[in-house]
Amino acid sequence: MKFGHEYETALANEGYPEQWVNSAIDYKHLKKCIKRVHRELESLGLDEHTLAAMNDLVAQPQTPKPTGIDPKDYFSASNPDLSPIQEEFTPQLKVLVDSKTGLALDARLAPETKASLQKLAKHEMVVEGRKKRLEQAKARQQQLQLPDTTDSVLDGSERKESLTPDVEDARWVYVPLASAQDFFEMLEPKLAELDALRDAETRNLEEKILDLGDLVEDVVQPVREGFEAKREISYRDLYFWREMFRLYLEKPIFYSEAEQKRGAITFDEARKNLENYDHTLRETGLLAKMKTPQAKAAAQQFLDLNLQILKVMHFQEMNARAMRKILKKFDKRTHLQGDQFAKNLIVKYPGIKSSKSGAGGFADSIGRDLQAEMGTKVLAIVPQLDDWICPVCCEMAWRPVNLGCCRAVLCIRCVIDLQSKNMKKCPMCNAETVMAANGKNLDMDTMEFLEIYFPMEVKKRQKENEKAQLARDYGEEFVKPGCTVM
Amino acid sequence: MSAPLPKRIIKETERLQSEPVPGISAQPHDDNARYFDVIVEGPGGSCYEGGVFQLELFLPDDYPMCPPRIRFLTRIYHPNIDRLGRICLDVLKNNWSPALQIRTILLSIQALLGAPNPEDPLNEAVAKQWKENQPEAIKTAREWTELYAKKK
Ligand SMILES: [Zn+2]
Ligand SMILES: [Zn+2]
C-alpha cells in the first residue's frame, strides 16, 4: 500500500480525536504543493534535467572549464541550494549568472529564464561577503592559468564581482520560489502543532498516571484503618499487584531498558510488548484473582492507560514518518535540497531528533517520558522484593541491619557472618563499618515496612531462621524430618 | 554429605542463564553446581579480539564471604595472567566484596583483557616486554590469540 493512502486511512479510522487529526501533517496537500514547486521550476526553465545537471556538477566542482568559451557549457562553483536567510527560512534557488548576458553559468536554460535571471542579477546585490571572498579566491587561482580578459562595458562596481576570467560578470542570483515557500509554510506550523499536542497529551496522561497512582495506593494499602478484618484479602491483592507490576518491569513496554539495547523503540515493538504483557496477565489469571472491585477497576485503568500511551505514540510516529517521506519526496521531485530545512527544524524542535532504534519524531520522547512517569508514580507504590535483597545472601534482608555508611540493608545473620570472617568492609560501599555493628544497627523502620509489604516472605525467612538456629544449637540431625519419626 | 546449595548460588546461576552477559558464558557442572566452565570472548579492539578463552571457576564453601577461584585454561599472553592461568585482579583478592557476583567478576576479567596493566604484573616477563616494547608485546598477544584461542 502506498504510504499516503495508508496514512490517510489510519488518520481516518484509528479513532483519533478530531483535534489530533487537525494537527496531523497534511500529507496530501503537501504532495500537491510539491507538484506546484515542480511546475514553477519548469516555468523557470529549470526542468528536472537541468537541476540534475546542476547537482551533478557539484560532484566535480574542481573541473570548471576556463577555455572553449561555449557559454552554454556548464560550470558551477557551488550547489544550487536552498539557502536559509537567518531567522526566516526562504527557499531559494541559487544560480550563477552572467549579469551581462543573463546566461546561467550553471545550467542550460530556456530563453525566458535567462531574461528573468538577467533582471535579477542586475538589480539585486545578492552576493554575501563571505561567499564573495571565497569565490574571489577561487577566481584568483584560475587567473593564474588565464590572463585577465579585457575590460567589458560594465562599470567598475560590477566588475568587482568578477569571478572568472572568461566570464566577466558572474554573480549569484537567488531565485525565490513561491511554491516551495508554500510547502515549508504548510509543513512547519504542523510541527509546532504536533509539539504542542505532544506537550498537552503528555501532561494529560501524566495527570491520569497520578490519579491511577492514588487509586493503586488505596487498593494495595495492606492495612487500612477500620479494615483490619479485610487484612487477609488485601494481602492477596497486594501480591497480585506486585506480580502484575513485576511482570511489567521485567519487559518494559514503551522504552527498552535492556543492557544490550537501551533506547527508544518503534510503535510496532511497543504494541507487541503490550500484547505480550496482556497475554501473560491473562495466562496467570491475575486480574480475575483480585478480590475487591476497586482493585479490579484500578487494574483495568492501568491497562487502559497503557493503551492510551500507545495511541499517542502511534499518532506521533505516523506523523514523523509522514514528515520524513514528504521531505524525501520534495528532494526527489524538485531537486532542491530540503536538508537545511530539516536541520533547522531539529534545532527548533529537539524532540523530533530521532534515535536509530526508535519510532522517530516526537514518539520517542513520549515513550521514554511516560514510561518513566509510570515507574515513579504508579509502579513504585508497590515495593518489589528485588529492592530489598540483602547483597550477601541475595534473599530478602531478614532482620535488616543498616551499617550507617550507606543505604544498604543486610540481614543481621549476614553481618554476623562477615564479622566472624573478619571482613571489615561494608559489601556495598567498602567503608569499615562491619565490626562496629551491633543490635543498635537494626533498622526498625525497614523491618516494619517489610513486615507490612512482604508478610509472606518475612514468615518464610522467620521459619528458615528458626530451623537454622535449631541446627546450630542441636546439630544438623535434629531438624532432619526423618528423625522426628523415631 | 555436602551442605545444600545456598539460595544465592542458585539465583546467580539462574540469572547467568536467563540474562547472559554478551561475550561471556558460565555453565555449572551437572555433578558439581559450584564448578563452572567459563568462556570469555576477547573484547573488540583489543589484541585478544576474536579469541575465545576458556576458564574454570569454583565457588568455595565460604562463598560469598570469599571470592570465587578462577583461572584461565586457554594460554594467553597478558601481563596480569601467569603461565598457570592465574589472574592478578584486585577484586579477586583484597578488594573482594560479598556484594560482587560471578557476573561482575567475569566482566572485570573481560575488562582486564581490554586494558592490560603492566604496572601491577603477575607475569614479570610479559610485563617487561609490555613496558619496553609494547608494539611487539601486542603482536605476540595477537599471535597467541590466533594460536591458542581460536575455535577450531
Ligand atoms: Zn543476607
Ligand atoms: Zn555501606
B80 close to B88: Cβ distance less than 8 angstroms: yes
Ion ligand 1: protein residues whose beta carbon lies under 5 Å: A 390, 392-393, 411, 414
Task: Tell me whether residues A259 and B65 touch, CB distance under 8 A.
Answer: no
Say how far apart CA A301 and CA A298 lie, in whole Å: 5
* Span B57-102, pLDDT tens digits: 999 999 999 999 999 999 999 999 999 999 999 999 889 999 999 9
Say how far apart CA B26 and CA B36 lie, in whole Å: 6
The pLDDT of residue A328 is 82
- Contacts of residue B98 in chain A, CB cutoff 8 Å? 391-392, 414, 418, 423, 427
Pairing of strands A255-257, A262-264: antiparallel
The pLDDT of residue B2 is 58
* Span A217-254, pLDDT tens digits: 888 776 554 445 455 555 778 888 899 999 999 889 99
Task: Tell me whether residues A430 and B7 touch, CB distance under 8 A.
Answer: no
- Contacts of residue B99 in chain A, CB cutoff 8 Å? 391-392, 408, 427-428
B88 is catalytic: yes
Please provide the distance, in angstroms rounded to a whole number, between the alpha carbons at the two ends of chain B: 40
> What's the B108 CA to ligand 2 centre distance in angstroms?
21
Cα distances (angstroms) measured from residue A25 to each of A2, A93, A183, A195: 16, 25, 12, 12
Q: How far is B60 from chain A (nearest CA, A)?
A: 14
CB-neighbour burial class of residue A232 (10 A; exposed 0-12, middle 13-18, buried 19+): exposed
> Degrees (nearest 5) of the Cα angle A336, A339, A343?
150
> What's the A453 CA to ligand 2 centre distance in angstroms?
24
Q: Which of A394, A395, A427 sits opposite B97 (nearest CB)?
A: A427
What would the DSSP string read from start to end of A153-189? SS-HHHHTT---SSSTTEEEEEEE-HHHHHHHHHHHH
Q: Inform me whether the C-beta atom of residue A392 falls under 8 Å from chain B C-beta atoms.
A: yes
So where are chain A's domains? Answer: 43-180, 187-382, 386-479
Report pTM.
Answer: 0.71
Q: How far is A241 from chain B (nearest CA, A)?
A: 23
The ligand minimizing its distance to the Cα of A408 is 2
pLDDT (tens, 9 = 90+) of chain A, 486 residues, equals 688 898 999 898 888 999 899 889 889 988 888 888 888 777 776 666 666 655 544 433 333 433 333 333 333 333 344 333 333 445 556 566 666 665 555 544 445 555 555 555 554 433 444 455 455 555 554 444 333 333 333 333 333 333 444 444 666 666 667 777 788 888 888 888 888 888 899 999 999 999 999 988 888 776 554 445 455 555 778 888 899 999 999 889 998 877 667 788 889 999 999 999 999 999 998 888 887 888 888 999 999 999 999 999 999 888 888 888 888 888 777 766 556 666 777 777 766 665 566 667 778 888 888 999 999 999 999 999 989 999 999 999 989 999 999 999 999 999 999 999 999 999 999 999 999 999 899 999 999 999 888 988 999 988 888 888 887 777 766 555 544 443
- Contacts of residue B6 in chain A, CB cutoff 8 Å? 393
Q: Which of A394, A398, A465, A467 to mutate to test the interface with B (most CBs of B within 10 A)?
A: A394
The ligand minimizing its distance to the Cα of A468 is 1
Coil, helix or strand at residue B72: strand
* Span B92-141, pLDDT tens digits: 988 999 999 999 999 999 999 999 988 888 888 888 999 999 999 999 99
Task: Tell me whether residues B97 and A428 touch, CB distance under 8 A.
Answer: yes
Domains and CATH numbers, chain B: 7-148 (3.10.110.10)
Task: Tell me whether residues B97 and A395 touch, CB distance under 8 A.
Answer: no
A397 close to A450: Cβ distance less than 8 angstroms: yes
Of B55, B88, B106, B122, catalytic = B88
Q: Nearest residue of A to residue B1 by CA position? A: A476
What DSSP character marks residue A389?
B
The pLDDT of residue A339 is 61
Q: Which of A395, A408, A417 sits opposite B65 (nearest CB)?
A: A417
Strand partners, A172: A96
B70 close to B96: Cβ distance less than 8 angstroms: no
Say how far apart CA A71 and CA A103 lie, in whole Å: 7
The pLDDT of residue A473 is 78
Q: Which CATH superfamily is domain A386-479 in?
A: Zinc/RING finger domain, C3HC4 (zinc finger) (3.30.40.10)
Q: Nearest residue of A to residue B6 by CA position? A: A393
Pairing of strands A255-257, A170-176: unpaired
